[in-house]
């Protein structure tokens, strides 16, 4: 059985439709906002709102998030340390923020709801209204994406040959892995023969994550299998959904499981961020196309270590593994990605934080994530 020769993995955010650019720069944008839903393990639904502002600090912000029709409010969950929870009144959950510094991403503001048994028309996002009073008064709406929220599959497979991941037009593009929410981009000539890539999300419990990293909150833990065991000659780019919505721009840490119960932190050439995945964007018709008044966010937040290079002598716990995905014997590897616990609780990313990722604008970073095809090139 061959071993992997050299493997590069790139984990980035799920795709999103970029906001159309105009002559108005991001510094002129007062605020953008988006909402997204996530089905939790117990079947309840978490809805979150995230904000990103432009070149001016905003004061006395009020965020009112609407509880969907048919939903029953259960509790509020995460929200930034700088925010104050006003509470749930009627059909809305309200938070207040005294000051949002310029060029900052803030959120998520998250609450939990339940839907009646058998109810399947769960909206992907929620409506929310955000107002502020200084330096001038303003108001925007974050509207829900059209569509139905469905649970993600725990595992999925994709078969790739020497052409890589290609669409019906024969173009080399990222493709979904079943119903897992994972997207993968595999370049041409990465494998020489038809190969099945299998991905499985692993429940995150204390006994499966590395020891001694209590300051890390785990975004995602997953296993990748390859059948048959072939040589992989090019980097592979992945978009992997996280188990909670996170602040876009948080720095991530990658851990590799050696398959013998030991983990090793994997250093990337540069810090890599969490990113967010809106699926549509509408610009206001009365602000010179400068401010998206409605931005719906679909899919899920994703951890985004982009600089996953070759493993070299580190290896990746590649072993024979059978039965886990319907039988067979193939090589596999486990990856864990996390963010700092305190950073997650702060739920705020400043312009200085974003500079580490090569971005000067919170609005641009929030609105236009990297494309998988821009992150890996043929070796």
The H-or-E segment that residue 355 falls in is: helix 351-355
**41 found inside a domain:** yes
Task: Read off the pLDDT of each residue in 25-37 and give the average, rounded to a whole number.
Answer: 79
Whether 219 and 330 map to the same domain: the answer is yes
Which of 95-104, 151-160, 299-308 is predicted least confidently? 299-308
Task: Read off the pLDDT of each residue in 33-55 and give the average, rounded to a whole number.
Answer: 93
Q: What is the pLDDT of residue 213?
A: 86
Whether 138 and 191 map to the same domain: the answer is no
Percent of the chain at pLDDT exceeding 90:
47
Q: Which residue, 142, 159, 192, sits at the end of a domain?
A: 142
Q: What is the pLDDT of residue 276?
A: 58
Q: What is the pLDDT of residue 39?
A: 94
Q: What are 106-138's pLDDT values in tens digits? A: 999 999 999 999 999 999 999 999 999 999 999
- What pairing do the DSSP bridges indicate for beta strands 72-76 and 58-66? unpaired
**294 found inside a domain:** no
Whether 214 and 325 map to the same domain: the answer is yes
Whether 122 and 160 map to the same domain: the answer is no
CA torsion sign, 367 to 369 to 373 to 377?
A: positive
Which residues, at least 6 apart from 98, have a Cβ–Cβ distance to it below 8 Å?
Answer: 59, 60, 61, 82, 84
Max mean pLDDT among 184-198, 199-213, 325-339 falls in 184-198
Whether 127 and 218 map to the same domain: the answer is no
Task: Read off the pLDDT of each residue in 200-221 and give the average, rounded to a whole number.
Answer: 88
Q: Which residue, 142, 160, 178, sits at the end of a domain?
A: 142
Query: pLDDT band for position 294 (50/70/90)?
Result: very low
Whether 103 and 193 map to the same domain: the answer is no
**112 found inside a domain:** yes
Mean pLDDT rounded to a whole number for the chain: 77
- Of 299, 351, 339, the closest CA to residue 35 belongs to 299
Task: Read off the pLDDT of each residue in 221-244 and give the average, rounded to a whole number.
Answer: 85
Q: Which residue, 96, 118, 142, sits at the end of a domain?
A: 142
**288 found inside a domain:** no
**282 found inside a domain:** no
Whether 129 and 182 map to the same domain: the answer is no
Q: Is the pLDDT of residue 348 over 50?
A: yes
Whether 321 and 360 map to the same domain: the answer is yes
**234 found inside a domain:** yes
Q: DSSP character for 270?
A: S
Rounded-to-integer distance, Cα 303 and Cα 324, Å: 25
Whether 136 and 262 map to the same domain: the answer is no
Q: What is the pLDDT of residue 334?
A: 83
Q: What is the pLDDT of residue 302?
A: 44
Query: pLDDT band for position 267 (50/70/90)?
Result: low
Please give the tally of structural domains in the chain.
2
Q: What are 300-311's pLDDT values in tens digits? A: 344 443 333 333
Whether 352 and 243 map to the same domain: the answer is yes
Q: What are 180-196's pLDDT values in tens digits? A: 988 899 999 999 999 99
Q: Is the pLDDT of residue 333 over 70?
A: yes
Range of the domain at 86: 26-142
Contact between residue 250 and residue 349 where contact means Cβ atoms under 8 Å apart:
yes
Whether 257 and 368 map to the same domain: the answer is yes
Q: What are 247-256's pLDDT values in tens digits? A: 988 888 888 8
Q: Is the pLDDT of residue 358 over 70?
A: yes
Could you tell me the CATH number of the domain that includes residue 93?
A: 2.60.40.690
More confident residue, 303 or 60: 60
**341 found inside a domain:** yes
Whether 166 and 138 map to the same domain: the answer is no
**90 found inside a domain:** yes
């Amino acid at each position: 059985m061959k071993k992997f020769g050299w493997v590069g993995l790139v984990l980035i955010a799920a795709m999103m439709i970029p906001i159309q650019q105009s002559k108005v720069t991001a510094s002129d944008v007062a605020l953008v906002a988006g909402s997204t839903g996530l089905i939790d393990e117990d079947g309840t639904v978490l809805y979150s709102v995230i904000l990103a502002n432009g070149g001016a600090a905003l004061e006395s912000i009020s965020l009112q998030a609407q509880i969907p029709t048919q939903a029953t409010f259960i509790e509020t969950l995460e929200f930034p340390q700088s925010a104050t929870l006003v509470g749930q009144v009627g059909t809305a959950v309200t938070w207040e923020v005294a000051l949002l510094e310029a060029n900052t991403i803030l959120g998520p503001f998250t609450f939990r709801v339940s839907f009646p048994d058998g109810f399947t028309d769960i909206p992907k996002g929620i409506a929310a209204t955000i107002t502020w009073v200084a330096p001038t008064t303003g108001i925007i709406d974050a509207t829900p994406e059209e569509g139905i929220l469905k649970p993600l599959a725990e595992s999925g497979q994709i078969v790739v040959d020497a052409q890589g991941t290609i669409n019906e037009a024969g173009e080399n593009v990222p493709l979904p892995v079943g119903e897992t929410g994972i997207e993968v981009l595999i370049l041409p000539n990465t494998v020489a023969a038809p190969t099945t890539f299998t991905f499985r999300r692993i429940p995150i419990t204390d006994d499966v994550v590395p020891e001694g990293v209590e300051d890390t909150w785990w975004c995602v833990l997953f296993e990748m299998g390859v059948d048959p065991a072939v040589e992989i000659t090019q980097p592979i780019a992945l978009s992997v959904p996280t188990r909670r919505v996170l602040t876009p721009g948080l720095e991530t840490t990658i851990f590799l499981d050696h398959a013998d119960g030991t983990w090793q932190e994997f250093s990337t050439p540069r810090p890599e961020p969490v990113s967010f995945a809106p699926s549509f964007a509408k610009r206001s018709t009365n602000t010179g196309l400068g401010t998206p008044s409605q931005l719906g966010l679909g899919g899920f937040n994703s951890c985004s270590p982009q600089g996953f290079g070759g493993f070299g002598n580190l290896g990746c716990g590649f072993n024979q593994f059978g039965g886990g995905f319907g039988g067979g014997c193939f090589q596999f590897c486990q990856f864990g990605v996390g963010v700092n616990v305190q950073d997650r609780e702060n739920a705020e990313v400043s312009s200085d934080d974003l500079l580490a990722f090569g971005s000067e604008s919170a609005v641009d970073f929030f609105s236009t994530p990297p494309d998988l095809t821009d992150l890996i090139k043929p070796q």
